Amino acid sequence: MGVRTIAAATAGRSLRLASRLARRGGGTSIGGLATVWIDRDYVPAQLNGLASLALITGTNGKTTTTALVTAAVRAAGRRVVTNHTGSNLERGVAAALLADAGWTGKIPRGAAVTGVIEADEWAFVALYPRLRPTAIVLLNLFRDQLDRYGEVDRTSSEWGRVLAAHAHGATLIVNADDPVLVAAARRHRGPVRTFGIDAGPSRPSLEEWADVRRCPLCDARLAYVRVTFAHLGHYHCPSCDLVRPAPDVRASAVELQGLSGARVTITSAGEVHSAPTTLPGIYNVYNLLAAVATSEALGVPLATAAASASHAGPAFGRAETIRTPGVDIVVLLVKNPAGANQTLDVLAGETVPYDALVLLNDGIADGRDVSWIWDVDFERLRPRRLTVGGARAHDLALRLKYAGVAPTDGGAAVAEGIAAPLDAALARANGRLVVLATYTAMLALRAECDRRGWTAPYWRVRR
């Protein structure tokens, strides 16, 4: 592996540098693409040599959960290698590893080196059989990028297949409130730990846009006594034995505090710890619980994991605040109906008036099909001033018109692209601007903020 690994690392680093010098991005994809093209086994060879490894996947929350686990493991005094930029295909993982590798391309070994890696839903299917993780984390499964992933049952079927086919001895950490994941977890040949929410805001029944209504095992209609959001909650199947398991790590108390975060009480194996967090929304409570469960599987004490969560800030572009002259920009990532509706839940709880910039792109990483915006409950969006932008600004403006979104102070401004709507929104904003952006729009927004000197490039923000 020596010569090939050195060549792969050299090529990857060269392309990464070229990308940055050309201001084409952080090289978090192209550098890794060259590396794995030259050395197909680069990623498993490096990760399988670590003392422990967590592999995290799901539709929403991967980057935030990865950041929280990374903070907890570091708080326990161990070194972490991680793809903190959120580049989560195999090439993105390779590029992240290059940042920690020596000149030979190899990650230094040691008893205190842990890998915390997020993987795209389908990258997980390709990577897991080649890795020997300590923990596998399944966060949730929602409809997302239909033109790439298809429906939820297609992804869950593939996850179940690889879990059944490969017995690596890993602990599977799964969201107890997601019936699709609990069903898939039955195929895992190893220990399973669960996390879930037992308290806090809930609904008595499924929302109209919920992705899952029927049992993934027998196709009977699921019964719910409590719905957190989407199809997550306390459920059972009246026709078979599928039932929500009692979570090993649970939120026994939840107090949401709008964009300011939440106060969460976490219970695990009889221990109870308070974990206030600056991360907003009930969806981030799930991320917090997943991170605590994963950290425990990696040998981090509950007290350490809970305490580190209180000090961990948001990952870039995920409830991140960007300070600009006169205006604070709060960036919220929205990429599918489940996540977007939860973000609107957070904003609905805001008592302070806010101005909004909503950006819709249709890049490959967003999904070319933007019909999902019609499943988002934009009717609850009530900004003081509204600006609409992105590559599909006019599609979004039409959706908002049908939703009856009426800014309380003036009409909506519409402009394609990123810089023009950003300028328009900042000119109209009064102290705070809330940005709802799809993935590539968020990256473009951040690049524009970098260009103006308001932020550091995201690949330099180490977590």
The pLDDT tens digits for 54-113 are 999 999 999 999 999 999 999 999 999 999 988 899 999 999 999 888 888 888 776 689
Average pLDDT over residues 363-368: 89
> Quick one: which of 153, 220, 219 has its CA closest to 184?
153
Q: Quick one: 262 exposed, middle or buried, by C-beta within 10 A (0-12, 13-18, 19+)?
A: buried
> Quick one: which of 60, 80, 58 has its CA closest to 69?
80
Higher pLDDT: 137 or 12? It is 137
Give the whole-angstrom CA distance, residue 331 versus residue 322: 8
E strand intervals along 16-72:
52-57
Say what the pTM is.
0.93
Residue 280, token pair as written in the block: 């907003």
Give the whole-angstrom CA distance, residue 149 versus residue 171: 26
Type of residue found at 95: A
State what percent of residues in the chain have pLDDT above 90. Answer: 75
Residue 461 predicted with pLDDT over 80? no
Residue 10 predicted with pLDDT over 90? no
User: How confident is residue 457, by pLDDT bands cut at 50, 70 and 90?
Assistant: confident
- Which pLDDT score, from 0 to 100, does residue 14 have? 76
What is the number of H-type helices and E-type strands within the chain? 15, 17
Average pLDDT over residues 249-278: 95
Residue 420, token pair as written in the block: 């023009």
User: How confident is residue 40, by pLDDT bands cut at 50, 70 and 90?
Assistant: very high
Average pLDDT over residues 3-25: 75
CB atoms under 10 Å from CB of 415, counted, come to: 19
Residue 103, token pair as written in the block: 């000149």
User: How confident is residue 425, by pLDDT bands cut at 50, 70 and 90?
Assistant: very high
Dihedral sign of CA atoms 361, 364, 369, 371 in order: negative
Backbone torsions φ then ψ of 357, nearest 5 degrees:
-125, 120
- Which pLDDT score, from 0 to 100, does residue 147 have? 46
Higher pLDDT: 127 or 317? It is 127
Residue 170 predicted with pLDDT over 70? yes
Q: Which of 1-5, 334-338, 359-363, 439-443 has the lowest mean pLDDT?
A: 1-5
Average pLDDT over residues 236-242: 98
Higher pLDDT: 367 or 125? It is 125
Residue 419, token pair as written in the block: 């810089």
User: How confident is residue 26, by pLDDT bands cut at 50, 70 and 90?
Assistant: low
> Quick one: which of 149, 154, 161 has its CA closest to 120?
149
User: Which residues have a Cβ under 8 Å from the Cβ of 352 and sit 6 or more positions away?
Assistant: 432
Give the whole-angstrom CA distance, residue 12 versus residue 293: 34
Average pLDDT over residues 117-133: 96
Query: Distance of CA 106 to CAs 44, 68, 116, 329, Å?
Result: 11, 25, 17, 39
Domains annotated on the chain, with CATH: 2-311 (3.40.1190.10), 320-460 (3.90.190.20)
Average pLDDT over residues 277-300: 97
Query: Distance of CA 235 to CAs 139, 211, 446, Å?
Result: 17, 14, 40
User: How confident is residue 426, by pLDDT bands cut at 50, 70 and 90?
Assistant: very high
What are the tens digits of pLDDT across the range 126-158?
999 999 999 999 999 998 755 455 578 889 999
- Which pLDDT score, from 0 to 100, does residue 192 have? 97
CB atoms under 10 Å from CB of 431, counted, come to: 11
Give the whole-angstrom CA distance, residue 97 versus residue 195: 29
Task: Tell me the three state secondary structure of residue 9.
Answer: helix
Which string of b and e fits 165-196 if b means at least 16 CB within 10 Å?
Answer: ebebebbbbbbbbbbbbbbbbeebeeebbbbb
Give the whole-angstrom CA distance, residue 388 versus residue 411: 11
Type of residue found at 161: R
Residue 360, token pair as written in the block: 């819709």
Q: Which of 1-15, 246-260, 278-292 has the lowest mean pLDDT?
A: 1-15
- Which pLDDT score, from 0 to 100, does residue 367 have? 87
Stretch (H or E) spanning 226 = strand 223-229
Residue 22 predicted with pLDDT over 70? no
- Which pLDDT score, from 0 to 100, does residue 149 have? 55
- Which pLDDT score, from 0 to 100, does residue 305 have? 95
Would you list the DSSP string of 149-182? H-SHHHHHHHHHHHHHH----PEEEEETT-HHHH
Task: Tell me the three state secondary structure of residue 369.
Answer: coil
Residue 49 predicted with pLDDT over 70? yes
